[in-house]
Amino acid sequence: MHLGVVWPQTTISTDPGTVRAFAQGVESLGFDHILIYDHVLGADPAGHPGWSGFFDVDSEFHEPFVFYGYLAALTRLELVTGVIILPQRQTALVAKQSAELDILTGGRFRLGVGIGWNSVEYEALRQPFTKRGNRIDEQIDLLRRLWTERAVTFHGDFETVTAAGICPLPVQRPIPIWLGGNSTPAFRRIGRLADGWIPERPPGPDLDDAVAQVHAAAVAHGRDPAGIGLQGRVRLSAGVDFALEQLRAWHAAGATHVALNTIGLGPDVDHHLAALAQFRAEINS
């Protein structure tokens, strides 16, 4: 099971020196990947009566592709998006950005994608919120073709490419695509299309039910469920004992990757790294 760390967005400073210190500290502790969340825009609750979203206009989020271009020069960690909101973006541009990151990291990039929940972002980026599920299916097909073919011709319901391609192509051909999601349609999509998935529920009966749905969809489409990775996340702010218990639960659930989430431990980057070091010491003892 591969162990990584969630980037503590909304928590530590966005100063480049702090970013460097955290990423290199994570690597020095023996973790092997960093996972970052994504939001292009945050809504101002004052302009959206009844707003109940997880984040708003005051929540700090790095732009994953630009941010990872910086980290690619600083660490040898695998860089993971968990997840990019794909249907609100231009597919060809995502293909190009992902290929560039894969080249800069030497093939250490994993693209996690999902459909998101924030209609405010979709409106601002001029993409249809209600069609995001249908669009992502088409986008995944096109991304894989753009990463593996010199020139692509593709005419779908949402995407059109005529005899064109990206150059240079990525190191990984294709780059692994992992899907998020927390609904029956999402589980079916994961089983049908994904290299791995990033569930929004902790280990337990609900996760077991989701796993069963993913595996059933995989079998129905002639795929081996064992080939679909599983990325868990463990909250470290609840204490090392809780994190260790959750890690064991993810292992029992079949997780191939788990990322430690230090969000909630305050703004001091040294405090985050100390908590991660304590966790590392416990599992190595």
pLDDT digits (tens, 9 = 90+) for 124-147: 999 999 999 999 999 999 999 999
DSSP state of 82: S
Residues making up the chain, counted from first to last:
285
Spatial separation of the C-alpha atoms in residues 92 and 78, rounded to whole Å: 23
Mean pLDDT value of segment 153-165: 97
Token pair belonging to 55 = 């984040």
Q: Which residue type, as a one-letter code, is found at position 274?
A: A
- Domain boundaries, given as residue ranges, for the chain: 2-284
Is the full-model pTM beyond 0.75?
A: yes
Fold category of 2-284 in CATH: TIM Barrel (3.20.20)
Mean pLDDT (the chain, rounded): 96
For residue 54, the model assigns a pLDDT of: 85
Each residue of 21-55: b (16+ CB within 10 Å) or e? bbbebbbeeebebbbbbbbbbbbeeeeeeeeeeeb
For residue 273, the model assigns a pLDDT of: 97
Helix (H, G, I), strand (E, B) or coil at 56: coil
Contacts of 269 (CB under 8 A, 6+ apart): 12, 13, 18, 21, 22, 25
Residue 4 β-bridge partners: 33, 259
pLDDT, tens digit (0-9, with 9 covering 90-100), for 225-277: 999 999 999 999 999 999 999 999 999 999 999 999 999 999 999 999 999 99
For residue 107, the model assigns a pLDDT of: 98
Spatial separation of the C-alpha atoms in residues 74 and 72, rounded to whole Å: 6
285 falls in which pLDDT band (50, 70, 90)?
A: confident
- Look up tokens 């009966």; give the residue: 205
